[in-house]
Structure 1
Amino acid sequence: MLRWPIAILILANVLAFAVLRGAFGPTPTAGGREPNHLNRQIRPESVKVQPVSAADAADQAVVGGPAPVAPISTSELPPESPQQ
């Protein structure tokens, strides 16, 4: 009863392995698909990388650090009045 689904899954895995190994040609992400974007850049030499200052870094999330504590105030709820 389960022979055909298992056989189909094994065949699908073998096909996926062959596709990822490049049996049917390179994958779409293997190369530049749109080289015109690089040619259409306006003044690419004017792009400069600048370090983030301490003031700007305060707004950035720290990846892997503890979650910030939210400024939430809590209070007890009033006792529930009986419904009539």
Structure 2
Amino acid sequence: MVRWLITLLVIANLLAFAAARGVFGPVPAAGAREPFHLNRQIHPEWLRVQPMSAADAADQAVVGGPAPVAPIAASALAQ
């Protein structure tokens, strides 16, 4: 019973590997999904990049930094 399960899992992994390598055709995510959006943009030169203010930057999470400490008040339990 377990041998059949292992054999089935190995075959499924080989099929998934072959599909990821493109044996059955191109992967749907390989190309541009919606290339017509670039052609439909109206006045793309109007877009501007603005630096963030200090107030906006304070609200952003720091990736890879320590987790913020939750403001929880704790006290000893009465016995």
TM-score (norm 2): 0.77
Task: Give the percent of matched residue pairs that are identical in Structure 1 and Structure 2.
Answer: 70
Higher Cα Rg, which structure: 1
Q: 1:57 & 1:30 partners in 2: Cα distance?
A: 35
Cα RMSD after superposing both structures: 2.0
- What corresponds to 1:29 in structure 2? 29
Q: 2:61 & 2:55 partners in 1: Cα distance?
A: 13
Q: 2:72 & 2:41 partners in 1: Cα distance?
A: 47
Consecutive unaligned residues in structure 2, runs of 5 or more: none
Consecutive unaligned residues in structure 1, runs of 5 or more: 80-84
User: Going by fraction, where is helix more abundant, 1 or 2?
Assistant: 2
- What corresponds to 1:13 in structure 2? 13
